[in-house]
Amino acid sequence: MNKFINILFLLLLIPIVALSIFVGFDLPIEILRTSGKYLPHQHIYFLSFAILFFILGARRSMRRWIGVRMVNKKEKFQWNEEIDKKRKSQVNMYLIIEGILHLLIAMTFVLLTPKALVMACVFLALGLDHLLFCIFGNVFHLWRVGVTNKAVVVAERDFKVLYFSGLRKVSVHQQTLFFDYIKELQLAISIDNITPSNRSTFRNIIEEKVNRERVHFTESFKEF
């Protein structure tokens, strides 16, 4: 989900940054026979994009916070552990980069034109959310992976639920754990979510929860 949202953010940023440049520097818009300063309905464009960015960012943020709240209800899991230090370092790096980038984008909008203030406010909020999620995740050890009777739940930078229903194969390739389902659906998590010392326990619990007559464990997963 994070990759998709980030790509979508980038694609949406191109036109709104271009608009901010035209408005901020009062550049001519020949096709409309006007200039950026006198472009009609500017506030509507900025507000519309701001609402769109806010909805996308808020949806991702809510999913993250709901995910860590869910996985930290340890009594509801048969197995529940904090993610490995290596993965935690990666999550910290990504969150800090995303947070700083959003803050820089907010500053860029402010510098380009005061009319893009609503965009700046949205990216300021999103940037602070990334950094707060990073701080709280480390201080309160919120990023965890757990196993219930129905699924594997991973909550860190992204929130994933990998159900056992419909599962047909579990495999490991390089640094990724794959869950293959019916209708050619495939979900995956990083193996670094699971501390090496806990991997055999994790594998055994998965084996207990699934129907081994229907679910194939590859040799790579058996050695996991």
pTM, to two decimals: 0.93
Q: How far is the C-alpha of 39 from the C-alpha of 46, rounded, in Å?
A: 12
Q: How far is the C-alpha of 23 from the C-alpha of 18, rounded, in Å?
A: 9
Q: Give the pLDDT confidence score for residue 171 in this predicted structure.
A: 97
- CATH entry, 144-222, from 2.30.29.30, 3.40.50.300, 3.30.1600.10, 3.20.20.140: 2.30.29.30
Q: Has residue 208 got a pLDDT over 90?
A: yes
39 neighbors 32 (Cβ within 8 angstroms)? yes
Q: Has residue 101 got a pLDDT over 90?
A: yes
Q: How far is the C-alpha of 201 from the C-alpha of 207, rounded, in Å?
A: 10
Give SS3 for 107. Answer: helix
189 neighbors 202 (Cβ within 8 angstroms)? no
What is the average pLDDT score of the chain? 95
Q: At what angle do helices 117-139 and 42-71 cross, to 10 degrees?
A: 10
Q: How far is the C-alpha of 212 from the C-alpha of 168, rounded, in Å?
A: 9
Give per-residue pLDDT as tens, 155-164: 999 999 999 9
Across the range 66-92, mean pLDDT stands at 97
Q: pLDDT-derived band of residue 3, with 50, 70 and 90 as boundaries?
A: confident
Q: Give the pLDDT confidence score for residue 1 in this predicted structure.
A: 67
Share of the chain above pLDDT 70, in %: 100
Q: Has residue 110 got a pLDDT over 70?
A: yes
Give domain limits for the chain.
2-139, 144-222
Give per-residue pLDDT as tens, 13-72: 999 999 999 999 988 888 878 887 888 999 999 999 999 999 999 999 999 999 999 999
Q: Has residue 92 got a pLDDT over 80?
A: yes
